[in-house]
Chain A
Amino acid sequence: MKILIIDDEEDFRTITASCLGLLGGAEVVEANCGSVGIRRAEQEQPDVILLDLMMPEMNGIDTLKNMRKNPSIQDIPVIFLTTKGMFEEFAELKELGALAVLTKPFDPITIGDQIREILQQSKVKKD
């Protein structure tokens, strides 16, 4: 499972990548902003993208919208990372095509399994 993390916080990326890599058994690539994230996604074609909602310049929503316009990456599932956890926000994000929303801080040990489960569920639904 290849995961692309797009987040402006370097520390967060590093630790999340470590947790997913070391504990979750995933291959992780990182990007520090939306535009970089889109390029990386094109290059890496990850199984899933973890996208931070609050970023300077291009925020998570705009990034997602741009991704959806890009045919090479438009089908890659996106999971948002947020600190707010507001229900309206969830609904809005899901409408935009996000697979799920994960609230920070998450459990470092189970985060990998959690992502796998979400992907599994979405596959079941699609099938």
Chain B
Amino acid sequence: MNSMNSIIDQVQRLNLKIVHKGAILVLVPLVFELIFICVLTGLVQGAEQEIKQQVRSKAIISQSNTLSKSIYDAGVALVGYSVTKSALFDERFNKVVKQIPEDLDELRSIVGENPRQQDVVENIKKITMNGVEMLNQTKSAIDSNRVDIAHFRARHMYKEMRNIADNLQEELKQLTETERKIERESPEKQSRSRTILLVFIFGGVITNIVIALLLLWFFARSVKDRLDVLTDNSYRLAQSQPLNPLVGGNDEISHLDSVFHSMAEALTEATRKERAVIDNAVDVICSIDTDGKFVAVNPACFENWGYTQMEIVGKRFIELIAPQDIGETIKAVRAIRAQEGDLQFENRVRRKDGTETTVSWSAYWSEKEKAMFCVAHDISQRKTAEEAVKASESRIRSIMNHMIVGLVIVDSSGRIESMNPQAEKIFGFTTAELEGRHVLCLFADSKFYSEAKIQDTDTFWQTLSDQAQNKIKEYEGLTKRGDEFPIEVLLSELNTHEGARFIVNVVDVSERKEVERLKKEFVATVSHELRTPLTSIRGSLTLLSVGALGALPEQAQKVISIAERNTLRLIGLINDILDIEKLEAGKLDMVFVNTGLQDILDRSEQAVAAFAQADNISIDIRQSDKIVYADADRIVQVLVNLLSNAIKFSPPGGFVEVFTEETFGFITVKVVDKGRGVPEAFKKLLFQRFQQVEASDSKKKGGTGLGLAICKGIIEQHGGHIGVDSEEGKGSTFWFKIPAMHTDSTLVVNVQEAEAGSGASQ
């Protein structure tokens, strides 16, 4: 048995497939049977040969006896004839003699091709024919009455015949000896052959049965047993039990078994993970039977509700529900059972400690399991958060609703989603009227662009985004009635969970514009109303001071000078105020041309020369061949202002220097004084309106406190910068930077126009 097992093991090591094994099961007995039939056929043929041999032997013996008897009969008939001369003997003799050659031929044919027997038959034939010859001679002698011869022959013949008979007998004996031996031995041989045949047939059949059984056993062992294992594994898998060890081999069954094992591992892993998920879930996962009792629950019930798993299992589900929610909960559970599917509901669960928590249930009723499977998610925090969000939303909405700025919320393509009451008020539309429409409809541009054309709305929206995103820009708004009015718009992006949105902040600036217009008118009027009388005052004072109306006493001259100086100061103030107003409105008219810097320097020097001389300050201006792109009058205004300041704040007998330099396409002009300098804290304030280092400066040094603010405005309108480097007590360097020569050819025209313009304005 052990050797059998080892054979099976070896066969199994051959890694035969089931189809190979099946082939072996059929082919091995088949081959054996074929060999068996071949051998059996050989044996049967041998036996038949044996029988044929025996029959021939019998025939040879019988024929030999017949021949021997014929010769004897012929001799007897001749003897009878010689005595009786009876025709009966004669006839008998002739018949026998005639018969002998036929008998010899017969014997010869029976002997067949056996050479030794053929020789014997030849001898027999010769002897027999000698004998017949002798008998015939004797008969002839008898017939011719030659008694002597006949006697002699008879005597002799007897002797001859005796010899012939002996020889014949000897030969026949020789011939039949073998046959007799064969005949004698034949039954034995046949009996042995039969025995062999029988043994062989039985042996073959038994062997065949044994082989077939062995193969069947082998097949059963290698296939059926393993299939049984496989079947068992499938039951085990279904019942989540551990599987049998892997079956050996490398055939389909072993592959199937290996797949089974992989599947089982995956299932085990999945189950383990599922279990881990359930055990570690934050939510309570439970099943409830038809009686409404908990059948199973995960450990989260302790964290959520304060009950352990043991405490919960067996407890009625409804006992956990807050009394005020029981009715609704029962309805929900009935609905779940009725529809046999998923359903969600919310209720309050009373914890073990008596507190309540809001829970969102997701439940599923299984008719098969007769149980309800639930996941209970604690949404107290979410509820709180939702309420907070609601409160926050309501707060924001309230703020939005009470804002004085109109807010229009649009999507990323400019379609209106909502607006606050102020926006409704500004445009005269209600939110419902505008929902889904393009923000274009609130702009006067809608007269030129069509809201219905996507290309138009896109272009408008793109322009609006480019111009007004995160910066205030003025537009013309359009009310529902079709009235145009000025608005200020600022676009700000808002990232919401629904994607990008934009807040279009809208301020109706109609009133402000009106105020501005009035203010402008007021300023113009006031300036006119002030300037005209001031012209008269100044003219009068000048006429007096220059003596055009006659010489004045010294005291009068002094008073007139004071009046003249203050008139100039007043004029300066009015001019400054007008300039600053215009600068702020961006409407200080400037004509930019390429101008030689030296001209600007010269004009500025001339303008302050008298003033400097009066204060005994020397001015040193370095020559410059640079060209600037600027409004020369305005730059002169700036430079005069800076020089005036430098002179004002220089100690008597001091000096002021002006340098110019070019850097990166900009010309820097520096005015350097050795005055008291500017305190660090003042450097930034200095360029703002009405700022002076000392409050008393305006009285002591003159000036309105607007000069540097105007300078800053002018320089910035040139695209330049202005600033001061100063160390207190050591002097200051006021500088400004403006663009160097502009090379754009189109400006040549402007230069000519500007030259004409500037000539006229002087």
Contacts and interface: CB of A to CB of B under 8 A. Distances in A.
Given A101-B761, A105-B534, A83 B540 contact: no
Contacts of A108: 538-539, 542-543
A21 B535 CA distance: 16
B524 interface: yes
B589 A15 contact: no
A90 B753 CA distance: 13
Interface string B477-510: 0000000000000000000000000000000000
Contacts of A101: 760-761
B533 interface: yes
Interface in B518-566: 524, 527-528, 531-536, 538-540, 542-543, 546, 548-549
Interface centre among B532, B533, B571, B760 (most CB of A within 10 A): B760
Contacts of A105: 531-532, 534-535, 538-539, 571
Interface string B580-602: 00000001010100000000000
A23 B548 contact: yes
Interface of B, secondary structure class, is helix
Interface string A18-61: 11001100000000000000000000000000000010000000
A105 B531 CA distance: 6
B539 A104 contact: no
A15 B540 contact: yes
Contact of A83 (B528, B546, B762): B528
A16 B531 contact: no
Nearest to A12: B536
A91 B527 contact: no
A108 B539 CA distance: 5
Given A11-B533, A18-B548, A23-B548, A87 B538 contact: no
A19 B549 CA distance: 10
Contacts of A114: 762
Interface size class of A (residues with CB under 8 A): 20 to 34
A121 interface: yes
Contacts of B533: 11-12
A22 B548 contact: yes
Contacts of B524: 83-84
Contacts of A22: 543, 548-549
Contacts of B540: 15
Contacts of A103: 761
Given A87-B589, A91-B757, A16 B578 contact: no
Nearest to A11: B536
A86 B543 contact: no
Interface in A82-105: 83-88, 90-91, 94, 99-101, 103-105
Nearest to B541: A108
Given A15-B536, A22-B548, A100 B760 contact: yes
Nearest to B753: A91
B115 interface: no
Given A15-B539, A23-B546, A108-B538, A90 B757 contact: yes
Nearest to B524: A84
A16 to B, nearest CB: 6
A115 B759 CA distance: 12
Contacts of A91: 757
Contacts of B760: 90, 94, 99-101
A117 to B, nearest CB: 8
Interface string B147-189: 0000000000000000000000000000000000000000000
B632 to A, nearest CB: 15
Contacts of B535: 12, 15-16, 104-106
A1 interface: no
Contacts of A23: 542-543, 546, 548
A103 B589 CA distance: 14
Contacts of A84: 524, 527-528
Given A15-B535, A23-B548, A85-B761, 11 more contacts: A9-B536, A12-B532, A14-B536, A15-B536, A19-B543, A23-B543, A87-B589, A104-B535, A106-B535, A107-B542, A114-B762
Interface of B: 524, 527-528, 531-536, 538-540, 542-543, 546, 548-549, 571, 578, 587, 589, 591, 757, 759-762
25 contacts: A9-B536, A12-B532, A12-B536, A14-B536, A15-B539, A15-B543, A16-B535, A16-B536, A16-B539, A19-B542, A22-B549, A23-B542, A23-B546, A83-B527, A83-B532, A85-B761, A87-B591, A88-B589, A94-B760, A100-B762, A104-B532, A104-B534, A105-B539, A109-B542, A114-B762
Ranked 9 nearest A-B pairs via Cβ: A87-B589, A105-B535, A15-B539, A83-B528, A108-B542, A22-B548, A108-B539, A83-B531, A104-B531
